[in-house]
Amino acid sequence: MSLKDVKKYYYDVQAQVIAAKEDLQDLNEAAEAGQITDDKLAAIVDEINLMQVNYDRLTYIMYLFDLPNRPKKKKRFKQITSNKAVEDELERRNSTSEQVITENTNALARIRQEIKELKASLKK
C-alpha cells in the first residue's frame, strides 16, 4: 500500500464521518419530534463515535507521515500553530500513539484477567 492509497483511505473515512455527523443532526431533530426512541438514537451515536475514534487515529497516522525525521525540523514542525492544534486535539481525544498503546495494554490486561478468572471457575 502506498502513501497515496493511505491518503485516499483517510479522505474516504473523513467523508464518511462528515456524512455521519450530518445524519446525526437529522436524527436529533427526529428524536426531538418523538419519531425515534432514545435507545435507537444512543445506538446510532455509539456507531458514530466509533467512526470518530477510527478517524482520529487515522488523523494521527497522517500527522506522523507529515512529521519530519530530523530533530531540529521536528521541533519547528511541532511549534507551527496548526500542527500544535492537531496534536492537542488528538491528545484530548486519546488518539496519540502513546495513548493507544496504553489503552491496548490495559485492554489486554483486562482480557487476560477475565481468561484467568474463567479458567479458575472452570476448575472448581
The answer to whether the beta carbons of residues 48 and 82 sit under 8 Å apart is: no
What is the reported pLDDT for 35?
Answer: 84
pLDDT recorded at residue 43: 87
Summarize pLDDT for 9-45 with one digit per residue, the tens: 999 999 999 999 888 888 888 888 888 888 888 888 8
Where do the structural domains in the chain lie, given as residue ranges?
3-69
Per residue in 52-87, pLDDT tens?
988 998 998 898 888 888 888 877 887 787 877 887
- CB distance 60 to 90 below 8 Å: yes
Residue 113 clears pLDDT 80, i.e. is over it: yes
* CA distance to 52, 85, 118, per residue, from 89 (Å): 13, 6, 39
The SS3 call for residue 31 is helix
What's the burial of 45, exposed, middle or buried (CB within 10 Å: 0-12/13-18/19+)?
middle
pLDDT for residue 6 is more than 80:
yes
